[in-house]
Structure 1
Amino acid sequence: MAKRAVHRRARKILGEEPVALVWCEIRTRIPTPPKDVHRAAGKGRLKPGHHWLLYVGAVVFFFVVIPMMLIDKLSDPFDWPRRSRRDRRPRAAEPDNRRQDPTNGVFDGDWNLTAGQLLLHWYGHSPNPKRLVMLGRDRVCIATSPRRRLSPTKADDFRTVAEFPLDQAHVEGEAGQPRGFATFRLRFADGSWLEVGRLAEPEDADHFLRTVSA
């Protein structure tokens, strides 16, 4: 469960004890918006930032792992022709589910409505993918930390980046979802919606889903 510092910060932001809160993320990449829409929104980033260790790992992979793989392949001259012939065999076409759903199941698809506009500025507020959704008695707040890395149990520097009264936004979710696959939707008054998942802290997630499904 989130530490006392997280709840203390949430209470300070809301001015009351939160009804429920949970850290969450967009489950997959943000779809690519039309260029004119992206430009009108300030051309903000559409991908999260990465920790420096990821770049170190990439460098090691390209300069150490790949050369070793090539050396291993070239070390057997008799096996190389067989591999080449096998690689030239036609492969069965694989279905591309992303073409069937250009939104990736992230939102309703209209960039001009509330959910789309929220996505256009999602990573502009913070390169970190985690967002804290807090439920008050009369509003829904979305907060984030400016840091690239944070611990969902200890973060205490997050700030509100979006706030909606309950007549403009509400949360839809089901209790008892399998751990690791649980999701919920933020649905807005204009009919748009945004789906998030990767819910952190099991106790917070279970309480949050029970609250919104009641």
Structure 2
Amino acid sequence: MASSTDRMLQSRLGIKLDAGAWCVIGKIPKPPSDVHAGAGDGSLRPAFIRPLRVLTLVLTSPFVLILGLLLLLASGEEVLKKWLATGEERERLRAEELDAKRRDASIVELGLNQTFDGNWSGAAGQFLLRWYGHSSHHQRFVALSEGRILLAAPPKRVSFRAESRMKVVAEIPADKAVLEDLLPQYENNKLRLHFKDGSWIVLTTEEMRSAIHKHLLRHPVNHETESTEP
């Protein structure tokens, strides 16, 4: 079933979505000054939260405290559940913890804890230099549409109603890059935007095993690049 964001994008932009998910990237490392200048000296970080948003966060701080208390209680409940668990349940919990450790180790091994491959001259590095030039918003709604990869966002950072203000800020043809889930065996929130020259950018989805992850499980990509080393 299509999400509200999917339906809104399809209606506003007139595109058919195969799958989509909100994503963020890691901190962009400082590039060489000449490389940065050659790319237009664009911003390497999202815009700051507007003062009105900061005021809203302050005014709602009691609710944040209540939420924190609820999370603390939930954490205590999890500890109690483990303590009261049967032998079979404890074995399942140990297996889940071991699975999570293996997933986290694989993330590091594959370089998915990095923002990109580190080559500023590559397609990924050049694309990354213009990331916040396309939009100063901190998130991107990444969508697969008829073979293309679309990145949508509000033109500027907003605190509310991001979905209703979105527009496509970048489009990558199918023959230029693909989205990959390198850890399909695990529930994870990492995707790799892998360009044809072998360079890549890591995207972190808002939710674990997003709609894009599920789509890639059903439709694995077959993409040859010059290099697949992280």
Structure 2 length as normaliser, TM-score? 0.61
Rounded Cα–Cα distance in structure 2 between residues aligned with 1:54 and 1:196: 26
**1:182 alignment partner, one of 189, 193, 196:** 189
How far the C-alpha of 1:207 sits from its partner, in A, is: 2.3
- The structure in which a higher percent of residues are helix is 2
Matched, 1:130 2:128: no
Residues 134, 170 of structure 2: 8 Å contact kept: no
Matched, 1:50 2:54: no
Rounded Cα–Cα distance in structure 1 between residues aligned with 2:138 and 2:116: 16
Which residue identity does 2:36 align to in structure 1?
A: H
User: If you compute each CA radius of gyration, which structure gives the higher value, 1 or 2?
Assistant: 1
How far the C-alpha of 1:9 sits from its partner, in A, is: 3.8
* 2:150 alignment partner in structure 1: 141
Rounded Cα–Cα distance in structure 2 between residues aligned with 1:126 and 1:160: 10
Q: CA RMSD in A?
A: 3.1
Which residue identity does 1:163 align to in structure 2?
A: E
Structure 2 residue ranges without an equivalent (≥5): 58-111, 219-230
Rounded Cα–Cα distance in structure 1 between residues aligned with 2:194 and 2:206: 21
Matched, 1:200 2:209: no
Which residue identity does 2:191 align to in structure 1?
A: F
- Residues 147 and 141 from structure 1, CA distance in 2 versus in 1: closer, same or farther, beyond 3 angstroms? same
Rounded Cα–Cα distance in structure 2 between residues aligned with 1:187 and 1:111: 14
Rounded Cα–Cα distance in structure 1 between residues aligned with 2:126 and 2:168: 16
How far the C-alpha of 1:155 sits from its partner, in A, is: 0.9
Which residue identity does 1:155 align to in structure 2?
A: E
Provide Cα deviations, 1:42-63, integer angstroms capped at 9, x if missing partner.
1111111121255999xxxxxx
Matched, 1:113 2:127: no
* 2:28 alignment partner in structure 1: 30
Rounded Cα–Cα distance in structure 2 between residues aligned with 1:132 and 1:150: 15
Residues 135, 157 of structure 2: 8 Å contact kept: yes
Structure 1 residue ranges without an equivalent (≥5): 58-102
Rounded Cα–Cα distance in structure 2 between residues aligned with 1:43 and 1:16: 32
Provide Cα deviations, 1:60-104, integer angstroms capped at 9, x if missing partner.
xxxxxxxxxxxxxxxxxxxxxxxxxxxxxxxxxxxxxxxxxxx97
Residues 127, 147 of structure 1: 8 Å contact kept: yes
How far the C-alpha of 1:14 sits from its partner, in A, is: 6.5
Rounded Cα–Cα distance in structure 2 between residues aligned with 1:210 and 1:176: 12
Please give the secondary structure, in 2, of the residue aligned with 1:10. Answer: helix
- Residues 18 and 54 from structure 1, CA distance in 2 versus in 1: closer, same or farther, beyond 3 angstroms? same
Residues 176, 206 of structure 1: 8 Å contact kept: no
- Residues 56 and 134 from structure 1, CA distance in 2 versus in 1: closer, same or farther, beyond 3 angstroms? closer
Residues 2, 201 of structure 1: 8 Å contact kept: no
% same residue: 36
How far the C-alpha of 1:148 sits from its partner, in A, is: 1.6
Rounded Cα–Cα distance in structure 2 between residues aligned with 1:56 and 1:38: 35
Rounded Cα–Cα distance in structure 1 between residues aligned with 2:185 and 2:55: 37
